[in-house]
Structure 1
Amino acid sequence: MAHRDRRGLPLSTRSDRAAECYRTGVDLLLAAWPGAADALDAAIAADPDFALAHAARARLHAMRVESAAARASITRAADCVARGGTERERSHVAVLSLAIDGQSGPALARALAHAESWPRDALILSLPLGAFGLLAFSGRADHDQARVDLCERHAHAYEPDDWWFTTYRGWAHTENGAVARGRALAEQGFALRRENANGAHALSHALFEDGAGHEAEALIADWLPAYDRSGLLHGHIAWHAALAALERGDPDGALAIYAEHVRPGVTAGLSLNVITDTVSLLWRLGAYGHAVPAGLWDEVRAYAAPYYVKAGFGFADAHMGLLAAATGDRAAAQGRIDALTGLVEAGTLAAGPVVPAICRAALAFAEGDYGSCARILEPVAGEVVRLGGSGAQREVIEDTLLVALMRAGEAEKARILLDRRLHRRPSPRDARWQAQLTA
């Protein structure tokens, strides 16, 4: 068994081509770069019994929400590994099996245990990390710190020139508030491999949190044209540029980016990204006092209709609540609130009571009852982190609270919140609002 993966772990295949295609496929998967599926399919064609190639293909199917294909691939991986895989490969397949089966709690526990024995198994270590990782969606209020702890615990296992680990380590520090360190690591990781959408994404976040929106816009404008539109993060990275434009007071520029890269029908992104990016940008646009062009909300509602019908995924539920409120669908909003409240009472909603509270507040905001919106959101503001996702994504909820306070005449509370936000992250939009409140 002479073949090894990119980080030196043994591979149970005798095929030179299968091993090389697997290494390439995993690189592309970790970089969210087009071509991963073709490379992994080539690995499987070269060695149909190569368990880890089937497992990586399953992971890629799962990322694209191709559930039946993901289950079929991970079942094939389990069959192959049972006939001759190593202990590490059996554990690798078991972790992915749990994740693909929707058993996120056991998958997280098993992934963390796996990393203790094989920290250089990057595909498994990647599962708890990221804005949509197992830690982010665990419902934990400390998931940002937990990601940093995980990266630092295993940093010794990675070389300084490991582009993947450096990128994710930087993103973890940025999200946990150590922005200077996070930005430096993100810049280092991105420089090591520019054909890395996760690298561009991590650096965009770092620039956003550093108050350098103009740098984020320049980075994305320079980098995005080389990233094929079929890439999973193409639309989402463009969303970051639209967000930066909106922050500096250019709604037309934000809408132009939205129309070209973000809106349903023009992006090949994950459904979760498409829904949350479109909803949050259009909601912000309206909350900031700009007109949302006719038809845009209806287009998002039509796209989102088949997804997340059943409540229980807090990050998606919050955005579906915003969508129902923005489109005046009170019945849908109330139905989701009732379902979420039932899950909270049953103790089965990971993110907890903050989720139905956000949906209730969104409905009040959309109906012009800003005082009620603020009263609902203020007590749970510290729990919004439990939704998961990134700070930039969750900020739409804090924006809603801030605008509700201003419109409800709660100027002093709004000033306190703005002072805290500006201390955390310089923002031209917040500076404008602060000036209005002190005028």
Structure 2
Amino acid sequence: MTIDQHGLAMSGASRAAVRHYDQAIDELLHFRVEVDAESAAALADSPDFPMGQVLAAYLGLLTTEADDARAARQRFAAWRARIDHPSLLPRERAHVEAVQALLDGDFLTCGALLGRITEEHPRDALALAAGHQVDFFTGDARSLRDRIGGALNAWHDDDRHVGHVLGMYAFGLEEAGHYDRSEEVGLRAVELNARDVWGIHAVVHTYEMQGRFGDGVRYLDARLDDWSTGTFFNVHNWWHYSLYALESGDAARALAIYDAVLAGGQSSMELLDAAALLWRLLLEGSPEEKRWRALADAWPVRVAEPFYAFNDMHAVMSYVGAGRFQDAEELIRGREAYLAEPRPGVTNQAMTARVGLPVCRALVAFGKADYDAAVDLLYPIRHRVNEFGGSHAQRDAVQKTLLEATLRGGRLDLARVLVSERINVRPCSPFNWLKQGALAEQLGDRAAAAAARLRAEELVRRT
């Protein structure tokens, strides 16, 4: 029996395997690509090391790539077939059950099982990190906050990874709406570890949710070397930077970021960031056909089979943006067939049925200028789009599509409701005031439209 860096017992590992495992956890918490090499090195030294196998499985499953999940499923099944399950330590058995639930497509059961592990072992960094990602993929803001908050008192100021735990907590606080506390905790996390990209990301989200886009740009600029290279999260944080540029009305800067960083993405996460940026530009009348065509070419292999409805939405955005409606409709038909064969416990089926398919159909309707259909599909689900994962900032693409469809389709009563909601949550957002101006213009109130646009300009100048 051996002990990991956080004081937890493990079986089946040599000292060298433990060193690689501990370093892999460090790399994981930093979102660095070296996590794969360290994980592989641990298993090369001790092939049946239970926590090494568990870590490798989580790494394969949490990329949201179907091919990675398939490979992880095969490796884990082969390992389980050759080990004596009852001989594992209780925590190891609990992780095996959590991984198996995830392999079976049951995100919710996996999250619950990881929660039980955290209750007994609050210093299990892998359980916290994997659980945090599961909460993100299922859009569970309360668990994003409380899974970490409930473990936090077991961590101490001199712990190597206490800053990373704080970074996770800051993101959970932000998604749950505690913006002041999120900023405080996130800044502390980054103070403890300047290269905690998840902590930086949490602070950036907090500024986004408060409409503090000037603060966000300055924060990212001041820490450029800490977040812009060497991690899985480079592209995503550049995406946040581009959102700040769009909020300030600087579409040219956003496109420069797209061309320099987001274009040519390889992973589903990178592709969805690219689609999400171009879709926001499309909503504002900037079609970007050439960029859409290149992006649409990258999606088919990644959505060839149902795996994660949130990815499906971004693939459909890309097809619609490129004018490839046949591809979008083919994906939708494939997901309809997927739902026709119920698979109890598969979380993605519920995501697809309740949110994914309505959103995909609405995007196609919007692209075809059938704005009434887009509104009728999106308005009933607007308060539950969190169910297919992502963050508030990411899901805002859906809300902005709904708002734009009400304006273009003349559904002005609904547009008034949506604009009023946005302005009263974020009165410092230039985008919200521009939409107030567009609504007032359609209502024939030119004075109110001019006043709203002046307000937007004033907010931009203040940054």
> TM-score, length-normalised on structure 2?
0.83
Residue from 288, 298, 322 that aligns with 2:293: 298
Residue 70 (structure 1) shift: 2.6
- Deviations along 1:44-72, one digit per CA (max 9) or x if unpaired, are 44544433233323333444543455345
Residue 238 (structure 1) shift: 0.7
Letter in 2 for 1:185: V
In the comparison of the two structures, how many residue pairs are matched? 427
For residues 104 and 387 of structure 1, do their structure 2 counterparts lie closer, same or farther at Cα, with a shift above 3 Å needed?
closer
For residues 254 and 16 of structure 1, do their structure 2 counterparts lie closer, same or farther at Cα, with a shift above 3 Å needed?
same
Letter in 2 for 1:104: F
- State whether structure 2 residue 322 is matched by structure 1 residue 323: no
Residue from 110, 116, 119 that aligns with 1:113: 116
Q: CA RMSD in A?
A: 2.7
| CA–CA separation in structure 2 for the residues paired with 1:318 and 1:342 | 17
Residue from 433, 436, 440 that aligns with 1:434: 436
- State whether structure 2 residue 24 is matched by structure 1 residue 25: yes
Q: Secondary structure at the match of 1:409?
A: coil
> TM-score, length-normalised on structure 1?
0.87
| CA–CA separation in structure 1 for the residues paired with 2:305 and 2:415 | 35
Partner of 1:145: 142
Letter in 2 for 1:208: E
Partner of 1:96: 99
- State whether structure 2 residue 181 is matched by structure 1 residue 218: no
8 Å CA contact 2:403, 2:415 repeated in 1:
yes
| CA–CA separation in structure 1 for the residues paired with 2:239 and 2:257 | 7
Q: Share of identical aligned residues, percent? A: 26
Where does the alignment leave 5 or more consecutive residues of structure 2 unmatched? 344-348, 441-447, 450-463
1:38-77 equivalent positions in 2, closer than 5 A: 38-64=37-63, 65=65, 66-67=68-69, 69-71=71-73, 73-75=75-77
- State whether structure 2 residue 365 is matched by structure 1 residue 358: no
| CA–CA separation in structure 2 for the residues paired with 1:148 and 1:329 | 40
Letter in 2 for 1:315: F
- Deviations along 1:145-168, one digit per CA (max 9) or x if unpaired, are 233233333333333561122111
Letter in 2 for 1:102: G
- State whether structure 2 residue 202 is matched by structure 1 residue 173: no
- State whether structure 2 residue 417 is matched by structure 1 residue 416: yes
| CA–CA separation in structure 1 for the residues paired with 2:361 and 2:42 | 49
| CA–CA separation in structure 1 for the residues paired with 2:223 and 2:56 | 27
Letter in 2 for 1:193: N
Partner of 2:383: 382
8 Å CA contact 1:33, 1:196 repeated in 2:
no
- State whether structure 2 residue 320 is matched by structure 1 residue 335: no
For residues 413 and 32 of structure 1, do their structure 2 counterparts lie closer, same or farther at Cα, with a shift above 3 Å needed?
same
8 Å CA contact 1:18, 1:42 repeated in 2:
yes
Residue 28 (structure 1) shift: 0.9
Partner of 2:346: none
- Deviations along 1:259-304, one digit per CA (max 9) or x if unpaired, are 111112xx45xx2212311111111101012342x42111111111
- Deviations along 1:163-222, one digit per CA (max 9) or x if unpaired, are 122111111111111111122222222222122222222222122112222222233334
Letter in 1 for 2:358: A
Partner of 1:233: 233
Letter in 1 for 2:17: A
| CA–CA separation in structure 2 for the residues paired with 1:23 and 1:189 | 20
8 Å CA contact 2:146, 2:172 repeated in 1:
no
8 Å CA contact 1:51, 1:80 repeated in 2:
no
Letter in 2 for 1:285: L
| CA–CA separation in structure 2 for the residues paired with 1:364 and 1:73 | 42
Where does the alignment leave 5 or more consecutive residues of structure 1 unmatched? none
Partner of 2:399: 398
8 Å CA contact 2:137, 2:389 repeated in 1:
yes
8 Å CA contact 2:171, 2:202 repeated in 1:
yes
For residues 117 and 430 of structure 1, do their structure 2 counterparts lie closer, same or farther at Cα, with a shift above 3 Å needed?
same
